[in-house]
Amino acid sequence: MSPSAMHGMPVRAARALRRPASRPAPRRRESRSPTTILLVRHAAHDLMDRVLVGRLPGVPLSNEGRQQAQRLARRLARQGITRVHTSPRQRSIETAGIIARAARVPLEISFALDEIDLGAWTGLSFDELSSDRSWNLWNMLRSLARPPDGESMHEVEARIMRYLRHVHAIHPGGRIVLVSHAEVIRAAVMHCQGLSPDAFGDVRIAPAEVVALAVGDDGARMAEAGEAD
């Protein structure tokens, strides 16, 4: 229709003729393959069960811890892991290095895997802490309490879950070892199991223990036996 012919038409009709064709609906993004995350607590050190080391620098593995890490590394090397990420603490880096060398995969340090910040409690012995009311409250109500000048369990949970989503986004379908600490791993497990932080005593994480998670576009869950092996 010529511009002169449109000039005499009602405005609404003329606009209708100029309306562009409707666009096709955007394609839905295909879901990515789940990532298998193997959360590993660092192996043993000499201050274990005596001092709350937290982020205290200079805490290496003990002789027993190095043996634990070597046994674990031999097992994980047969499981097709594709890379290792670790907390920046020395005990974690040493554990992760033994695993990465055995599996011949890259090693990456991430502060998202760091130990919980225990604030003013860092470096105190458990004997010293036993008479501290705030320490006793922390061990009863972790959903409400927090270390003085430190990090709450809710903050630890948010930190580790955010990092799990990040690892899945960049390594979908991968099999990744994350070497971290008991409280961090415990926070991820309680999240996946729908538990309150107050149930921390029900989730035990031993040195050099492995907890397997499946992390997908729809979130994280505890891995089933076939996924973990």
Q: Would you name the residues annotated as active-site residues?
A: 42, 115
Nearest CA to 72 among 47, 50, 94, 46? Answer: 94
Q: How far apart are CA 157 and CA 121, in angstroms?
A: 20
Amino acid at site 187: A
Q: What is the DSSP letter of 50?
A: T
- Nearby residues of 189 by Cβ (< 8 Å), 6 or more positions away: 195, 203, 205, 211, 222
Q: How far apart are CA 118 and CA 160, in angstroms?
A: 16
Q: Note the maximum CA span of the chain.
A: 95
Instruction: Compute the half-sphere exposure of residue 23: CA atoms within 13 Å on the CB side of its CA.
Output: 3
Q: How far apart are CA 51 and CA 145, in angstroms?
A: 20
Q: How far apart are CA 187 and CA 182, in angstroms?
A: 9
Q: What is the DSSP letter of 130?
A: T
Nearest CA to 41 among 155, 217, 179, 192? Answer: 179
